[in-house]
Amino acid sequence: MDWIIEVRERNEVLFYLGLVCLVLAGVFGGLAMATETKVFGVNAWLKPLKFALSTWVYAWAMAWYVAYLPDFNATRFGWAVTLLLGFEVLYIAIQAGRGQLSHYNLSSAFYSAMFSLMAFAATAATLYTAYVGWLFVVTPLPELPAYYVWSIRFGILIFCLFALQGFVMGSQLSHSVGAVNDNSNWFILGWSRTVGDLRVAHFVGMHALQVLPWLSYHVLKSTKWTTVAAAVYLALAAFTLVQALQGVPFLKANKTQIRS
């Protein structure tokens, strides 16, 4: 509870964005269990559930980090992110309720425009986050351990690289390589177990934003080992991307699962 209160004090706008998304994730999870509407073979509510959870952890992580920057307008950043990512989560939820595609939907001029707006929103939020990362490079922060500052830099860098990897999926109108938007019954993630799935690298890379600073601050406590961890993490994310581009699933289904 002390940590949650601290997040709110550091950036109230991002705190409430994350809190709303966390509540919405619970609502979407309930709807996933209560309804049978499907899109691309999986429950329609799983997609807004995943996006709400992702926005929650992003918002609280960035609320924590931007408070370290002395001359940064963190409130403006918070509202920009809220408008951009809030729009994305809301539209995905509306489309799920209608049993319609949100991403890759070019079936009408309106849906095409909304898909483009989502791409713009995600890109703008990513570039604003990249700017925050640049500020962590050029701003002296002597009160923080050097290894922790480096972990935030690495985390933001890898996050931005693999957030922009979304353009690879958007360009081919599919998150799969070897099929069209293939999904598998693999927990909430739904990653394909028969063909390559670009969402794996997207997920792994973007969550460097949380994993690396936590690992550095609580476990590694060393600039050298933080750098090693960042290199290993980047290599893992890159491996899953190459694997997907080759049409190879991250986790293969056995023959029985394929037949079923």
pLDDT-wise least confident of 107-116, 119-128, 251-260? 251-260
Is the pLDDT score of 63 beyond 90? yes
Considering the entire predicted model, what is its pTM? 0.94
> Predicted confidence band at 122 (pLDDT cuts at 50, 70, 90)?
very high
> Predicted confidence band at 188 (pLDDT cuts at 50, 70, 90)?
confident
Across residues 224-228, what is the average pLDDT? 98
* Residue 206 tokens, joined: 């973007």
Q: Which residues of 211-226 are buried (b: 16+ CB within 10 A; e: fewer)?
A: bbbebbbeebeebeeb
* Bridge partner residues of 176 (DSSP): 197
Is the pLDDT score of 179 beyond 70? yes
pLDDT over 90 percentage in the chain: 85
Residue spans of alpha helices (H) in the chain: 2-10, 12-34, 46-66, 74-97, 109-138, 146-163, 166-172, 199-206, 208-215, 223-245, 255-259
pLDDT given for residue 39 in this prediction: 87
pLDDT given for residue 259 in this prediction: 44
pLDDT given for residue 41 in this prediction: 82
Query: Exposure of 16 by Cβ count < 10 A (0-12 exposed, 13-18 middle, 19+ buried)?
Result: middle
9-51 residue pLDDT tens = 999 999 999 999 999 999 999 999 999 988 888 899 999 999 9
**Which position has the token pair 């830099």?**
153
* Bridge partner residues of 196 (DSSP): 177
Is the pLDDT score of 219 beyond 80? yes
Inter-CA distances, 188 with 11, 53, 191, Å: 29, 11, 9
pLDDT given for residue 256 in this prediction: 45
* Residue 197 tokens, joined: 């799935």
pLDDT given for residue 255 in this prediction: 52
Is the pLDDT score of 251 beyond 90? no
pLDDT given for residue 184 in this prediction: 77
For residues 147 and 153, is the Cβ–Cβ distance under 8 A? no
> Predicted confidence band at 241 (pLDDT cuts at 50, 70, 90)?
very high
Domain positions in the chain: 1-143, 145-260
Report which of 2, 17, 25, 117 is spatially closest to residue 62, judged by C-alpha positions.
Answer: 17
Report which of 191, 198, 130 is spatially closest to residue 159, judged by C-alpha positions.
Answer: 130
Query: Exposure of 70 by Cβ count < 10 A (0-12 exposed, 13-18 middle, 19+ buried)?
Result: exposed
**For 11, how many CA atoms within 13 A lie in the half-sphere containing its CB?**
29
For residues 8 and 149, is the Cβ–Cβ distance under 8 A? no
